[in-house]
Chain A
Amino acid sequence: MDTKSIPAVELDHITKRFAKVLANDDVSITVNKGEVVALLGENGAGKSTIMKILYGLYHATSGEIRIDGRKERIDSPKDAVKKGISMIQQHFSLVPAHTVTENIILGNCRGVIDYKAKEKEIQELADKYNFKVSASSYIKELPVGSQQKVEILKALYLNARILIMDEPTAVLTPQESEILMEFIRDYAARGNSVVFITHKMKEVMEVSDRIVVMRSGRVTGTLKKSETNETELAHTMIGHELKEIKASGDTAYESGRKRLRVKNLSVKFHNEVPLLSDIDFDIHEGEIFGVAGVSGNGQQELCEAVYGYLKPTQGTVELDGEDITHLDVRNHISRGIGYLASDRHRYGMIADMSLSENMLLKSSYLPGWSSRGMIHWRRLEEYTEKAIKEYTVKAPDHSVTAGSLSGGNQQKIVVAREVDAGRKLIIIDQPTRGLDIGAIHYVHQTILNEKAKGKSILLVSTELSEIFALSDRIAVLYKGRIMGIYRNGDLTTEQIGLLMAGCRIEKDTDVHFSGRREEEIE
C-alpha cells in the first residue's frame, strides 16, 4: 500500500457528550499527510472539542481515532505528543519567568542541563523555520506573537508531524499572521499536517487545502478550497435556518436624543496587538444597538471601556453630553449604567452569598438601599422576592445562595439587577448563554421592555439570531474594529457572516458608518 495515501489522522464517527450537552455529534474528519485542513465554524460549533479529543485532553464518548491507519488510544497530551500530535492552544502553556529554552526542554531532558548546547539546538531550530526568536529571551519579555512561535517551537522540538492550532491568529498583527501562514505552508510542504481552527475566512482561503465546516457539533460540509468560495463557506458556517430576520421597521428612536456617544475609542497596550481601534458609534434613547462578532474580537473590552472598568488609551465616552471616559466604575453606576458581563461567575455574582445580597452588589454606595451605612434588609429582601416572582426564578426564596441556582436562574437574577441599575444605559454581553428556551424568551422580552421605557441598550452577542431579533441597528466587531454599522434588515445573514469573518462586503448599505475603512482589513 502506498504509505503516502494513508491519512495521517482519521477521526471516525466521534461523539462527545458532557453531562447533557452533545458537543460533538458523529464527527468524522480526515487529515492527509502534507495537508492543511481548516476547521471553520462559529463559537460553540464543537471545533475545539474535537481537536482536544485528538490531543488527549478529552476522551471521546464513542468513535475511533486512527493515526497512520493504526487505531490508537490517546489518553493524555503526553500520549498525543508521543504519537507526533501537538496542539497550540489559545491560552499558551508557557512559564513567563523562564527562558524560551527552559520552556521548550521542560519535561524533555534529564540530569544536568547543558544550557549552552540546548540553546544552540533551539536557536538552530528557530532559524530553520525563520522564526525571529532568541533562545535565551524570557517569555515575559516577548510579544504575544513571539510567544506563539515558542509554542510552535516546542511542538517542533518534540518532532510533531501533526500540528493543531486553535485560533492562532487571534492575537497576531497582520504581519505576524503573514509569517505564520508562511510557516504553515512551509511545514506542510515538508510532509507534515496542520489542522487549524478558525472563524476567519481570509486565512481559510489563503492557506488551507481542505475546509471542514462545523455547526452545532456536527460537520456541515467538507470542501476543497479550490472548489469553493467565501460566500459558500459563510453559508455553510451560519446555515439557512436564520431566515428569521426581523426587520425592525420601527425607526422611532432615530428622532430621539443620542444618549451614548463613543468617539475614537482605542485600547492598546504597549507592544501588543490593539484590543480596540477607533471605535465610533452612538446609541439613541430607546434604541437597542447590537454588536455582532465572534467572541474574542474586542467585545469584552468594548463593554468594559464604556462601563469604566477598563481605561481606554484613546478616545472618549459621553453619556448625555457628559464625558465619563475617565470616571471610575462607581461613578458610572451612579449615573445609571448597568452591565451584565459575559462571565457572570467572575464579575456578576457572588456564588456564596444569598440572592438578596447579590442584588445589593452594584448599589452598596447608592442611597436607595441604605441610610447612614445601615442596609435596609427588609426592603431589599422584598425587592428580591418581587424580582424572583417577576422573572420566574426557580428559587425557594431570597435567602438561598446564588451558587445553588441553575445557570439560567442565576442569569435571571443578574438581569433583574442590572436592568434596574441601568436607568439610562444597559450594557449586556451574552445575555442568554446557557439558558433554556423559556429563559431566553423571558430575557429578550425584558430587554425589549426596557427599550420601550426609553433606555439605551448596548447588546453584545455571538448569537446572530439574538442580534437580529432584538437590535435596531447592528455593528460587527472584528479584531477590535467596527466593520460597519447597519440598520437591522439591511443585511443578509451571509453578509453578516462575511463581516464577522473579516471580509469586506461590496454593498454600501452602511448607515452611520464612521468612514474609517482601511484598505486592508486584515
Chain B
Amino acid sequence: MDMFVSLISRAVFMSTPLILGAVGEMIAERTGMMVTAVEGIFLAGAWGGFIGVYLTGSYTAGFLLAMICGLLVAMLYGVTTVYMNQHQIVMGTAIAILMAGFCKFFFRAIFGTPTTPLKIEPMKVFEIPLLSKIPVIGPVIFSQNIISYLTYLLVFLTSFVLFRTSTGLTLRSCGENPEAADVIGIDVRRIRFLSVSAAGCLGGIGGAYYCICNAGMYNSEIISGRGWIAFGICFLGNWKPVGSLLFGLAFGVSDALGIFAKTSQIGMLPTEFFNALPYILIIVLTICRRNLNMPAKLGTNYIKEN
C-alpha cells in the first residue's frame, strides 16, 4: 500500500513539468501555432533555471531566468513564423536543434569543464499543513513542491479562461478560422505571437523543473525528449487543459514505474521497456485517437490578403 502511494506521489511529481509544457503548447496550438520548438524551449529553461539557482542560490531567480530563456526562444520562433511566414514545423525543428548546441556551448562557456558535475540543492517539497496528513491523498496531492501546486492552479485557470471568457473565445477562434476573427477586427498575428510567448514561459519553467526540482544538476541529457512528450500530451489531451492534466499524470505514472522497475525488478519486463513506454503510448494513442478538437488551422500560417 505504501509502495502504491509513493508510486502515485512520484507520478504526480514527474507529471508536473509535462503538464506545464503541454498546457503552454495547448495555448499556442489553440491559436493555430504548432510550436515544434518546444524541446528547445525546455532545454533553454533547464539551462537558465540551473544557472539562475547556481549563481544566486535563489529558486525564484532560477525559475524567473528559466522563464525568460524559454520566452526568448519562443519569441524567436514567433517572429519567424508569424511575421516572416516561415514554415512552422521546419523553423521549430531548426530552433530546437539550435538550442541544443547553444545551451551546450554556453554552459561550457560559463562553467568550463568541472571535474565533478555542478550540483544544486533540489527544491524541497512543501507540505501543506494539515492537508498533507490525510492518508493517501495527503502525500499524493498535498506534499508536492510549489511548482506542482501552481501547475494545478494553472490547469483550472486556463480551462476557465479558455472556455468561459471572451479572451478564450478569441484565442480559439484564431486557431479555427483566422479569417473570421480578422474580419471582426481581431489582430490574429498578435494573438498568435502572444500565445507562443506564453508557451515559452510555461515551457521554460517546465524544463527548469527537471534540474531544479528533480536532478539537481544540468547536462545535455536531462531533457531528452521530454519537450516532445509534452507536445504529444497536448495532442492526446485533445487540446483541453484537463486532458493535458490527465495524460500528464498517465505519463508520470509510466515514468515512476520505470524507476520502480529498475529498483525492484518487477516481473520479466526489461527496464528498457518501461523507458520506452511513454513513447509507445503516444504512438498508439496518436493512431487510435480521433482528434476531435484539433484546431482547424493548426500549423497553417495566416497571411493577410490585401
Mask: chain A, 458-494; 1 = CB below 8 Å from B; 0 = not: 0000000000000000000000000000000000000
Residue B290 CB within 8 A of the other chain: no
Q: CA of A107 to CA of B179 in the docked complex: distance in angstroms? A: 13
B173: chain A residues within 8 A (beta carbon): 95, 98, 106
Residue B131 CB within 8 A of the other chain: no
Beta-carbon contact of A111 and B177 below 8 Å: no
Beta-carbon contact of A96 and B179 below 8 Å: no
Chain A's interface: helix, strand, loop or mixed, by majority? loop
Residue B79 CB within 8 A of the other chain: no
Residues of B33-80 contacting chain A, CB below 8 A:
none
Beta-carbon contact of B180 and A97 below 8 Å: no
Residue A17 CB within 8 A of the other chain: no
Beta-carbon contact of A109 and B176 below 8 Å: no
Given contacts A97-B296, A102-B169, A112-B165, contact A107 B176 (CB under 8 A): no
Residue A7 CB within 8 A of the other chain: no
Beta-carbon contact of A78 and B185 below 8 Å: yes
A416: chain B residues within 8 A (beta carbon): none
Residue B109 CB within 8 A of the other chain: no
Beta-carbon contact of B177 and A95 below 8 Å: yes
Residues of B176-229 contacting chain A, CB below 8 A:
176-177, 179-181, 183-186
Beta-carbon contact of B179 and A98 below 8 Å: no
Beta-carbon contact of A109 and B169 below 8 Å: yes
Beta-carbon contact of A76 and B180 below 8 Å: no
A358 → chain B closest CB, angstroms: 24
The 5 sampled A-B contact pairs (Cβ below 8 Å) are A77-B184, A95-B177, A97-B296, A106-B181, A109-B166
Residues of A82-121 contacting chain B, CB below 8 A:
93-98, 102-103, 105-113, 115
> Which of B's residues lie within 8 Å of A, judged by CB?
164-166, 169-170, 172-173, 176-177, 179-181, 183-186, 293, 296
A84 → chain B closest CB, angstroms: 15
Q: CA of A97 to CA of B173 in the docked complex: distance in angstroms? A: 9
Beta-carbon contact of B170 and A96 below 8 Å: no
Q: CA of A96 to CA of B172 in the docked complex: distance in angstroms? A: 12
Given contacts A93-B180, A96-B176, contact A106 B164 (CB under 8 A): no
Q: CA of A93 to CA of B183 in the docked complex: distance in angstroms? A: 8
Beta-carbon contact of A107 and B186 below 8 Å: yes
Q: Which of B177, B186, B296 has the largest number of chain A CB atoms within 10 A?
A: B177
> Which of A's residues lie within 8 Å of B, judged by CB?
76-78, 93-98, 102-103, 105-113, 115
Beta-carbon contact of A106 and B184 below 8 Å: yes
A110 closest partner in B (C-beta): B166
A110: chain B residues within 8 A (beta carbon): 166
A113: chain B residues within 8 A (beta carbon): 164-166, 169
Q: CA of A95 to CA of B176 in the docked complex: distance in angstroms? A: 6
Beta-carbon contact of B165 and A106 below 8 Å: no
Q: CA of A106 to CA of B178 in the docked complex: distance in angstroms? A: 12
A436 → chain B closest CB, angstroms: 25
Q: CA of A112 to CA of B164 in the docked complex: distance in angstroms? A: 6
| Number of A-B pairs, beta carbon distance below 8 Å | 58
B305 → chain A closest CB, angstroms: 9
Q: CA of A303 to CA of B296 in the docked complex: distance in angstroms? A: 29
Q: CA of A77 to CA of B166 in the docked complex: distance in angstroms? A: 20
B186 closest partner in A (C-beta): A107
Beta-carbon contact of A107 and B181 below 8 Å: yes
B30 → chain A closest CB, angstroms: 11
Contact of A111 among B165, B172, B184, B296 (CB under 8 A): B165
Q: CA of A107 to CA of B183 in the docked complex: distance in angstroms? A: 10
Q: Which of A76, A110, A113 has the largest number of chain B CB atoms within 10 A?
A: A113
Beta-carbon contact of B176 and A93 below 8 Å: no
Q: CA of A4 to CA of B57 in the docked complex: distance in angstroms? A: 76
Q: CA of A112 to CA of B172 in the docked complex: distance in angstroms? A: 15
Beta-carbon contact of B166 and A94 below 8 Å: no
B295 closest partner in A (C-beta): A97
B181: chain A residues within 8 A (beta carbon): 106-107
B32 → chain A closest CB, angstroms: 12
Q: Which of A95, A105, A109, A111 has the largest number of chain B CB atoms within 10 A?
A: A95
B169 → chain A closest CB, angstroms: 6
A92 closest partner in B (C-beta): B180
Beta-carbon contact of A105 and B169 below 8 Å: yes
A109: chain B residues within 8 A (beta carbon): 166, 169
B166: chain A residues within 8 A (beta carbon): 105, 109-111, 113
Q: CA of A108 to CA of B176 in the docked complex: distance in angstroms? A: 18
Given contacts A78-B185, A98-B176, contact A106 B296 (CB under 8 A): no
A115: chain B residues within 8 A (beta carbon): 164
Q: CA of A37 to CA of B125 in the docked complex: distance in angstroms? A: 72
B172: chain A residues within 8 A (beta carbon): 95, 97-98
A105: chain B residues within 8 A (beta carbon): 166, 169
Beta-carbon contact of B184 and A107 below 8 Å: yes
Given contacts A102-B169, A109-B169, A111-B165, contact A77 B183 (CB under 8 A): yes
Q: Which of B164, B166, B186 has the largest number of chain A CB atoms within 10 A?
A: B166
> Knowing that A109-B166, A112-B164 are A-B contacts, what are 13 other residue pairs whose CB atoms are under 8 Å apart, sorted by A's residue number?
A77-B183, A77-B185, A78-B184, A93-B179, A95-B296, A96-B177, A97-B172, A105-B169, A106-B180, A111-B166, A113-B164, A113-B169, A115-B164
Beta-carbon contact of B296 and A96 below 8 Å: yes
A111: chain B residues within 8 A (beta carbon): 165-166
B165: chain A residues within 8 A (beta carbon): 111-113
Beta-carbon contact of B176 and A106 below 8 Å: no
Beta-carbon contact of A107 and B170 below 8 Å: yes
B167 closest partner in A (C-beta): A111
A80 → chain B closest CB, angstroms: 10
Beta-carbon contact of A76 and B296 below 8 Å: no
A98: chain B residues within 8 A (beta carbon): 169, 172-173, 176
A93 → chain B closest CB, angstroms: 4
Q: CA of A86 to CA of B241 in the docked complex: distance in angstroms? A: 36
Q: Which of B170, B183, B186 has the largest number of chain A CB atoms within 10 A?
A: B183
Beta-carbon contact of A97 and B170 below 8 Å: no
A103: chain B residues within 8 A (beta carbon): 180
B177: chain A residues within 8 A (beta carbon): 93-96
